[in-house]
Structure 1
Amino acid sequence: MAEVHAIKDINQVTLISHLLKVRYSQQMSLVWNIGINLALRISDLLSIKFSDIQHDRVVLRESKTGKRAEIQLNPKVLALINEIRLQFPTHLYLFQSYRNQQSINSSPRPLTRRAVTKAFALVGEELNIRLGTHSMRKTRGYHLYQKTQDITRVMKMLRHGSESTTLSYIGITQEDIDRDFVELEL
C-alpha cells in the first residue's frame, strides 16, 4: 500500500469533498467531511453508531490501540450528523451501507473500508495526489500544527506516543524545519 499524504492546501480539501460527492455519493463526501474533522482511523470512523454520539461528543474505544477516544464535535460535524440522522432515522451506523438495506434479512453494517479506500484513491488519481483514508487524519493533524505550532497538542489529538512519529505522520519534513530556521530570523 502506497503512503498517503496530508492535504496541505485547504482549497484542495474542499475540492476533494466536491469530487467525492459528484463522482461517488453524498455519503462518501460526508465520510471525508466528518472524518477530516474527527481525525479517527477509518475503521473507527466507519464503526461509529448513533449511540456513540452523546450530545456534542463521540465516545468510542479505538480498535487499534484500545484507547478511549472522546471527541468534542464542532458545529460543522454536528450539523452533518443531524442531517444524516434526519434523512435516515432508522440507521444504526452513522455511515450505514445502503447495499445492506437491500438484504431484508441481514443486520445493518457500516460502509466498508474497501469502498471508501477505492473512492478516495480514484479521486486522488484525478487530482494527481496520494489520497487515502489516512489522509483525513493526517490532514487534520497538519492543519492543527500549522495553526498552533504545538506538536504536543497534535500528538494528543492523534493519540500518538512520540513527537517524532507525529511530525513524520503529518508530513513535516527536515526540509520544512530547515526552511523555518532560515526564514525566521530573530
Structure 2
Amino acid sequence: MTTGGDMERRSFTEIRTAGRRIEGYAATFNSEARMGGFVETIAPGAFRGALAGDVLAMLDHDPGKVLGRTRSGTLRLTEDSRGLAFSLDLPDTQAGRDVLALAERDDLGGMSFGFMVPQGGDSWNGERRTLRTVTLKEISVVSAWPAYPDTEIALRALRHSVDADRRRRALILAQVNT
C-alpha cells in the first residue's frame, strides 16, 4: 500500500433524510474494516485538517454526478467524537432525486469517502493500519456495501410524522469480506 499520492476510498452506512436533505456519518472513528490483507481504523482527529478545503459530494464516486460541495455550502462537514458527520442538500437533478428515493426506501448501501494519505498520516502495527491524518477529496452516497460495518442507515421523514419512528430505525449492513 503506498501513501502520499494514491486516492483511496472507504465506505460507511449511516444516512438520514429530512426533506431534500440527507445527513449522517461518512466515516466513524475506531471501527475496524477488513481491507483485504489488512485491518484499518480511523483515529479521532484524522479529518480535522481536511475540513477547510473544498470537498465534493457525489453519487458512487462519479464526478459526473455531483450532489453538492462545501465551497457552495450545499455540503456541510464536521468532525465530532463519533466521526465525520455530513449534511447534504440534495439537488433537484436525476441523481439527487434517485438518492432521495433510494434513501426513503432503505435501499442505499451507505456512505463512502475518497482520500489521500499525506506522508506520516498513517501508522502500521503488523497488518493493522491506523489513519491519523487524511486529505479528504470527496464523500459519496453509495449503493453497494460499506467497508466499515459499524455504522447504520437511519431515515427520518419530517413530513410524515407517522412514518418517522419507523424510519428512524437503524439497519446494520453486513460487511463484505474480500
Q: Same fold (TM over 0.5)?
A: no
Give the structure, 1 or 2, with the largest relative contact order (CA under 8 Å, sep 6 or more): 2
More helix by share: 1
Alignment TM-score, normalising by the size of structure 2: 0.23
More strand by share: 2
